[in-house]
A = this chain, B = another copy of it.
Amino acid sequence: MKGTVLYGPGDVRFEERPEPKIALPTDAVIRMAVTCVCGSDLWPYRGLQPINGPTPMGHEYCGFVEEVGSAVKSVKPGDFVVGSFATSDNTCPHCQYGYQSSCVGREFMSTAQAPYLRVPLADGTLVKTPDGVPSDDLFPSLLATSDVLGTGWFAADAANVKPGSTVVVVGDGAVGLLGVLSAKQMGAERIVAMSRHEARQNLAREFGATDIVTERGAEGVTRIKEITKGIGADSVLECVGTSESMAQAIEATRPGGFVSYVGVPHGVELKGEDLFGTHVHLHGGPAPVRRFLPELISLVMNKKINPGRVFDLVLPLEQVADGYRAMDERRAIKALLRP
């Protein structure tokens, strides 16, 4: 089998890799229906996150169960399944509290840009689609639930979005755009997308954004304050992970409001004294996608949402390197890969 390996900045190869096998009784092996490139894959691709030698890539997946270990009970060969980028037993105390991405048995998936994938803790990690195998046209949206929608949804949930909320989304990547969709589903009244990129602004509007702010930094905060009559937003979703985006998110929030952050922070340092004065709630981390998967899959299957719209580039899996390049150059929001 061939799979995706990052060799260094800008150097993605599709090359021979070992075929995944059942290694533990709790494993499953799945045949990929579709996979994709994540915004977080760009950090090491850009050399902004070090790697130790050639590194297999990919953590978003959905597909057909090929084989299961002897202890697996909830899925069987032929089932169509989605799983999170973080594996979970879904029974430990952290899972029970809804933080499956902090499961005591957690592993981060990392070899999913390939035609086959070993999934540890299959019973706790994989969720089967109801009513059998879905039609092909739903594959992109089902794939989206695996991470990018699950993460945008967590961003809205962690920022306490409620019916009637005023919400700001910082970041117009796929996660930010699906944060807009999530806020809309949760009943937000006003949703401000911060974006200066026309195609992304349009998708944000399609997903439910009521306002677009193109300014950034202090000017962006001033615009949010204008829009919110000087008060600040109830909920701000920080979907970038830089110092600047975090500062912008915190300053755009009203005292007592909620800031979520779901992109791995890079070089973000928060001064206790500064944070103290803002009175914001802060919550984030790796999204516990497993908590939301049944609901998100159901919303997709019932065609209530179409998160697969973030895939504006579709490539054969072997052209994965083109997908990275297009996203790096911001020519594509997100690249779907078909094995």
Contact = CB atoms under 8 A, between A and B. Distances in A.
Contacts of A270: 269-270, 272, 275
A88 to B, nearest CB: 11
Contacts of A288: 256
A93 interface: yes
A281 interface: yes
Contacts of A285: 255, 275-279
A126 interface: no
A264 B279 contact: no
B284 A254 contact: no
A86 to B, nearest CB: 11
A231 interface: yes
Contact of A273 (B101, B264, B271, B282): B264
A307 B102 CA distance: 38
A154 to B, nearest CB: 11
Interface residues of A, number: 38
Given A93-B254, A97-B256, A273 B265 contact: yes
Interface string A232-256: 0000000001000010000000111
A279 to B, nearest CB: 4
A264 to B, nearest CB: 6
10 contacts: A94-B254, A94-B256, A97-B255, A98-B256, A255-B285, A264-B273, A270-B272, A275-B284, A276-B285, A277-B286
